[in-house]
Amino acid sequence: MTLLRVWRIFSAALPAVVALVITASALPAAAKPPAKQRGKQRAQAQAPAAPATERPRTASDVDRDARRLYDQAIELLDMNQHERGLGMLQTVARDHRGTLVAHMAHMAMGEHHLEQREYAEALNHFLLLSRLLEPKPGATQPPQEQELQREALFNAGLAHYEAGQYAACFPLFRRVTEVAEKTPWANQAYFYIGMSHYQLKNWNKAIDSLSLVGTEVEEAGKDGSEALGRIEIGERFYAKIDDADIPIMRRLDQPVRARVQVASGDDEMIEGAPVPGKDNQMLASAPTALGLPKLGDGVLQMIGGDVLTVTYVDDSTVDGQKGVTRSGKVKAVSTGVVGFYLGDLATPASVAYPGQPQVVMLRDGDLDKSPAAEQVTLTVTSRYKVEEAEKKESDDLLDIFAKGDDQESWRDRDSVTVMLTEVGEGPEIRTGVFACKVQLAVTDDGIEPETNDAVLQTQELDELVVKYTDAVHLHGDEPRETEATVKVSGSVNSGVTADQYVVFEELLKSRKGVVEAEALVGLGAIYKDMGLDDRASQRARESLERVDPIIVNRQKLPGDIVETAFRLKWESELLKDDFESASATYLAFNRLYPESVLADQALMTLGRSLVDRGDYAKAVAAFGKVLELQNPISAAEAQFRIGEALQKDAEKKAEAADAHNSKWGRLGLNKTTAVQNLMDPAIAAYRRCYDLFPESSFAAEALGRVVRHYVETENFAQSSELLQSVFKDYPDAAFLDDMLMLWANVAFRMGDNELAKAKLRQLVFDYPASEHLDEAQRKLAALEGQASGGTP
């Protein structure tokens, strides 16, 4: 029985790893905006499937003031005013928590920190966002939140990867492949899984993962409707063949081929490649291009609106028939994208200059109807920001009916209609790329621009806008509007200006109190380090006298001052060794600001310092407080650290029990056995870690420690069962070579020499750089010699 399905790959710029998995985007790579621009565009998006170059818009339920503040923050980041931009984003995230714009603020902050190589800060935002957007069981996740969650998970893995923490990124990327299957996120996740294994020198695992890049494709027309599925012209075309005879054909070295016929005349044979882990499937593919047919060149040439028919001949069916034809059809379309570019027609323009021509470019293969150069007409508009007072005077009536996603803060200054001509050389032009130049000129205030000329009047700090309505595209049957903008360059004001701010007395007192408390806490920490605990406590009490009134009056004060006051309060309480009060402050702060990671980080830092001091009971309590927080991003680590602290406590108690420091200890047990007998609380904590947080980077290590415990206590049956779970649930764990060696020893102790040899062979083959390689080879040779009758 054979199932033929035609697939399309999502538009994405995936790295070219091997020939069959290159994904050529329909847009030039340069068309993808930088991270900070993507943050602004996401604030305006309606359709999550829109290309990266489209200017998205916020949902209508987003507060207008919050959206305006978000947009201003993104503009500040674009102008390299990072401190001000981040401060505004933090205000949005804090004061509008739980809303879409707050989630976008966290994403923008994370992307900024990632761009600045501040990986720990970036990870905090991405992990928090992925936790906030985790859908509840049975609930339907809004498309925008779903896309944000996928991006947050992927970026969290990317932060680990770029920081060189390759083992830590595996669970996050694996999670992406689960929640974002058949999307570009899954393909890129497989790529970074493979590259992480490559960096760790796990060559075979790297090959396995990289071979999956490009296999996460969307099935065309899978909704069951009679409408044809669609593929993007210029992207690689995929056809999946599902046939139970494929394993036999592969053993007989018979190629699995499908025929692709294009309505405009092209006809190609494409050969299938194995899909890892799916014996009955092959994935056949070929590149596509806009143009006239060239038979037999391995490239599918097509024009907009072409129908592709894929045919596969099934030589043997379940009911005994021979040569049964299976076929599927898809329609070729081109998704239009418009933008402002430099003169090379490849580099997006970051700014437009008055007095200089500006290139406008459109890519849409559907508009290429003939071998001649086609033309298309578009309108380019210059617009300027309206001051708030002026806007209210003129737009009061309109504002009554305005929805939150409209951009009333902009007003048109001038517009021109331009003719874009298809670019190319030779007698036949089949590029689907249209371009023209728009002449820009500077106009003065109060002068009405000419409406019938070909010159676009602008001023400094204006914005140029071009829109294009795409009637035929990849994302559905409804016309789709794309929009591009570019700023007009502004001048530098070298004059002297003076700003005057009105400061309320309460605000001034609060800022003064925070500054003084910061100094007192710093001085108290110095006294604490010197062993002068009384002086440290005195400085802490003085600090609390300054921050407590701020917390009491928090409703009247800015959020950043209140957050700082809370931080100084718990730091002061820790200076006094008042752990209970500090813990209560952590929890109170978290209730007020559930989307802040400040309490989470402080508790984790406290727990680690207590472990370093050997105060394991208090460390366990501190880590336990993390688990009580709302949205704790360090919950998995906290649970793991609880197990680690309990394990160190067991080792400490075993050391203390060995009063005479003898070889066998008090009860006739050696030290290792004594420790294992005290390990039950730690083992329970480790089990809780991988049970509650199976997708975290700490779950695999927790499970590994449990396995080692059972091996050392000679509970081989339990060890063998858990070892199977390790390799099933954590195929990317960094210690799998160690686990294979343990498994071989467990199998040998249980009398299963064949299993022991199999695990040793797997270690030698999969982990040639392992520190256990020599030992594995010696034991394997001994077991094989024993099996052949030789001396082990």
For 283-299, the pLDDT digits (tens) are 888 999 988 888 989 99
Tokens of 490: 């502004």
Question: pLDDT confidence of 39, banded at 50, 70, 90?
Answer: very low
* pLDDT tens-place string over residues 260-288: 999 989 999 999 888 776 778 888 889 99
Give the side-chain half-sphere CA count within 13 A for 468.
27
Rounded average pLDDT over 414-441: 90
Residue with tokens 């393909």: 187
Compute how many other C-beta atoms are within 10 angstroms of the C-beta atom of residue 319: 7
User: C-alpha distances in angstroms, 511 versus 39, 90, 160?
Assistant: 31, 18, 37
Q: Which helix (H) or strand (E) holds 311?
A: strand 307-314
In this prediction, residue 497 carries a pLDDT of: 54
Exposure string for 398-425, b = 16+ CB within 10 A, e = fewer? eeeeeebbeeebbeebbbbebebebeee
The pLDDT, as a whole number, for residue 38 is 41
Closest CA to 68 of 52, 87, 97, 44: 44
Number of Cβ within 10 Å of residue 723's Cβ equals: 23
pLDDT classification of 405: cutoffs 50, 70, 90: very low
- Please list the alpha-helical segments (H only) found in 180-284: 184-199, 203-210, 246-251
What is the Cα–Cα distance from 306 to 603, expressed in whole angstroms? 61
Output the pLDDT for position 7: 46
Q: How far is Cα 463 from Cα 412, in angstroms, rounded to an integer?
A: 9
Judged against a pLDDT cut of 70, whether residue 420 lies above it is answered with yes
The alpha helices in 559-615, defined as continuous H runs, are: 559-575, 579-592, 598-613
Give the pairing type, strands 300-302 and 288-290: parallel
Length of the chain: 792
Rounded to whole angstroms, the Cα distance separating 49 from 260 reads: 28
Place of tokens 């909704």: 223
Task: Spell out the domains of the chain, with CATH numbers in brackets.
Answer: 2-6+220-333 (2.60.40), 24-163 (no CATH), 337-397+406-488 (no CATH), 502-575 (no CATH), 576-787 (1.25.40.10)
Q: What is the pLDDT of residue 375?
A: 92
Task: Tell me what pLDDT residue 18 has.
Answer: 28
pLDDT of residue 360: 95
**Could you tell me if 13 and 25 are in contact, meaning their C-beta atoms sit under 8 angstroms apart?**
yes
Q: Which residues pair with 488 in a beta bridge?
A: 352
User: How many CB atoms sit inside 10 A of residue 560's CB?
Assistant: 13
Comparing CA positions, the residue from 93, 148, 125 lying closest to residue 593 is 93
Does residue 212 have a pLDDT over 90? no
pLDDT at 465: 94
Locate 554 and state its tokens. Answer: 């928090």
Note whether 304 and 26 are within 8 A (CB). Answer: no
Residues 6+ apart with CB under 8 A from 121: 109, 110, 113
d(C-alpha 427, C-alpha 173), whole Å:
48
Mean pLDDT score, 546-551: 87
Between residues 59 and 687, the one the model is more confident about: 687
Cβ neighbourhood burial of 182 (10 Å; 0-12, 13-18, 19+): middle
Q: pLDDT tens across 300-346, in order?
A: 999 888 899 999 988 877 777 888 888 888 888 888 999 999 888 88
Average pLDDT value for residue range 377-399: 65
Return the higher-pLDDT residue of 626 and 447.
Answer: 626
| Beta-bridge partner residues of 417 | 379
User: What's the CA gap between 113 and 111, in Å, rounded?
Assistant: 6
| Bridge pairing between strands 229-232 and 237-243 | unpaired
Question: Distance between CA atoms of 197 and 164, rounded to whole angstroms?
Answer: 12
CA separation for the pair 314, 645 (Å, rounded): 62
CA distance 598 to 93: 13
Contact between residue 73 and residue 89 where contact means Cβ atoms under 8 Å apart: yes
What torsion, rounded to 10 degrees, do the Cα atoms 151, 157, 160, 161 define? -100
User: Starting from the edge strand earliest in sequence, which strands make up the sheet with 267-275, in order?
Assistant: 218-219, 2-8, 237-243, 278-286, 267-275, 257-262, 307-314, 324-333, 229-232
The rounded mean pLDDT for the chain is 77
Q: How far is CA 651 from the centre of its chain?
A: 40
- The average pLDDT across 100-124 equals 88
